[in-house]
Amino acid sequence: MSRARGIPAGTSIRAHRAVLALLLLGLAVTTWSGTARAGVVRFRVQPEASEITFKATSRLMSADGRFHRLAGLVVADPMDLTTATITLSIEAASIDTGIGMRDNHLRSEDFFDVRRFPTITFESVRVEGAGRRATVAGRLTLHGITRAITIPVDVELTSVALVATGEFVINRQDYGLTYRSFLNPIGNEVRVAFTVRADAA
């Protein structure tokens, strides 16, 4: 019986089929891996379309404000929220409460001390959830102090855009913001709300 072309002498048809099956399996795994990597999208935060606001209380006048300048990146598979990694940076000096004198005081050493600590940052370490609801655990660095924080987030995520909204409360003293006023006592809890919009980069 003649030997099939391309099969070395001493190689059985069964062995040849086994080798062929392994090659096909390797090709399938490579293709699947490439598809999995292709599913991960980089989303760049759009500062002009995003908003980070805060509300701090005091005896005489509560402060409602926002930060105007921010940047960030989200890397995620739109089909799986738990794959997401988030980095966000806020320029502390961009604080705006609508009162210039108060804003300058907040930028001073009494509060944010923006010359020493120009940025507020957040980096995620874990994302849990499914659908449009997620819990993001990460590290918030404010006034040079880093603390773990967990934030509930509502998410709209497609392959081309991301919108994340939520709010959380921090204690300003946890971050070394310990300024006190006898005439106008300031509350320790600050409520932060955000809407972050990002487009596929």
Count the helices and strands in the chain (H runs, E runs). Answer: 2, 11
CATH value at residue 170: 2.40.128.110
How confident is the model at residue 17, as a pLDDT? 52
Domain identity same for 32 and 90: no
Flag whether pLDDT at 122 surpasses 60: yes
Q: How many domains would you assign to the chain?
A: 2
Q: Are residues 110 and 82 in the same domain?
A: yes
Q: What is the mean pLDDT of the chain?
A: 86
Is the alpha carbon torsion for 163, 167, 172, 177 positive or negative? positive
Q: Largest Cα–Cα distance of the chain, in whole Å?
A: 105
Same domain, 115 and 48: yes
Are residues 166 and 194 both part of a single domain? yes
Phi-psi region of 27 (alpha: psi -120 to 50; beta: other; left: phi over 0): alpha
CA angle 158, 148, 171 (to 5 degrees): 105
For residues 15 and 65, state if they share a domain: no
Cβ proximity of 188 and 176 under 8 Å: no
pLDDT of residue 69: 98
Examine the domain organization and report whether 24 and 11 are in the same domain: yes
Residues 108 and 193 in one domain: yes
Question: How do residues 151-198 score in pLDDT, each as one tens digit?
Answer: 999 999 999 999 999 999 999 999 999 998 877 788 999 999 999 999
* Co-location of 121 and 184 in the same domain: yes
Look at residue 59 in the predicted model and tell me its pLDDT.
81
Residue ranges of alpha helices (H) inside the chain are 13-38, 100-107
Q: Are 33 and 77 found together in one domain?
A: no
Stated pTM of the model: 0.79
pLDDT at 185: 82
Q: What is the pLDDT of residues 23-33, one digit of tens each?
A: 444 444 333 33
> Does one domain contain both 147 and 67?
yes
Residue 51: alpha-carbon gap to chain centroid = 14
Residues 144 and 155 in one domain: yes
Q: Which domain holds residue 177?
A: 41-200
Q: Rounded distance, CA 190 to CA 63, Å? A: 10
